[in-house]
Amino acid sequence: MIENETPTLSDVIKEAIEAKLLDLHVSMPAKIEKYDNATQKADVKPLLRKKYKLNNGTVEIPVIPNVPVQFPSADNGNAYIHFPIKSGDLGIIVCCERSIDNWLSGTGQVVNSDDPRHHSFSDAIFIPGVRPFSAALENTTEDEVIVQRNENCVQKFYDNGKIEIKGQESEINYHPDGKREFLGGDMSVTFFPNGTLTVQGATKELLTVIDSWMDHIINDGYMLTCFGATGWITYTKLLLLQDREDFQTLMNEPPGL
Range of the domain at 63: 9-130
Cα separation of 46 and 64, whole Å?
8
Residue 18 scores a pLDDT above 50: yes
Mean pLDDT of 38-63: 86
Mean pLDDT of 35-45: 96
103, 130, 157 - which closes a domain: 130
- 244 and 254 in a single domain? The answer is yes
Question: Comparing C-alpha atoms, which of 180, 148, 151 is closest to residue 163?
Answer: 180
- 213 and 250 in a single domain? The answer is yes
Please name the residues in contact with 229: beta carbons below 8 A apart, sequence gap of 6 or more: 222, 223
User: Is 216 within the bounds of a domain?
Assistant: yes
- 111 and 144 in a single domain? The answer is no
Residue 45 scores a pLDDT above 60: yes
User: Is 178 within the bounds of a domain?
Assistant: yes
- 96 and 46 in a single domain? The answer is yes
Q: What CATH number does the domain containing 65 carry?
A: 2.40.50.230
Q: Residue 210 region, left (φ>0) first, then alpha (ψ -120 to 50), else beta?
A: alpha
Which has more pLDDT, 233 or 20?
Answer: 233
Mean pLDDT of 201-214: 70
Given pLDDT bands bounded at 50, 70 and 90, which one contains residue 141?
confident
Mean pLDDT of 35-41: 95
Mean pLDDT of 150-164: 90
Q: What is the pLDDT of residue 121?
A: 92
Q: What is the pLDDT of residue 251?
A: 57
First to last CA, the chain: 101
- 97 and 145 in a single domain? The answer is no
User: Is 3 within the bounds of a domain?
Assistant: no
Cα separation of 153 and 196, whole Å?
29
Cα separation of 63 and 48, whole Å?
12
Mean pLDDT of 219-241: 80
Which has more pLDDT, 19 or 29?
Answer: 29
- 208 and 198 in a single domain? The answer is no
- 168 and 141 in a single domain? The answer is yes
Domain count, the chain: 3
Please name the residues in contact with 191: beta carbons below 8 A apart, sequence gap of 6 or more: 179, 180, 181, 197
User: Is 4 within the bounds of a domain?
Assistant: no
Q: What is the pLDDT of residue 236?
A: 84
Angle at 223 (CA atoms; ends 220, 226), nearest 5 degrees:
145
* Confidence (pTM): 0.67
User: Which residue type sits at 58?
Assistant: T
Element (H, E) at 95: strand 90-95
178, 202, 226 - which closes a domain: 202
86, 109, 130 - which closes a domain: 130
State pLDDT tens for residues 183-207.
887 778 888 888 887 777 655 566 7
- 57 and 142 in a single domain? The answer is no
The pLDDT > 90 percentage for the chain reads 43
State pLDDT tens for residues 60-100.
999 999 999 999 999 998 999 999 999 999 999 999 999 99
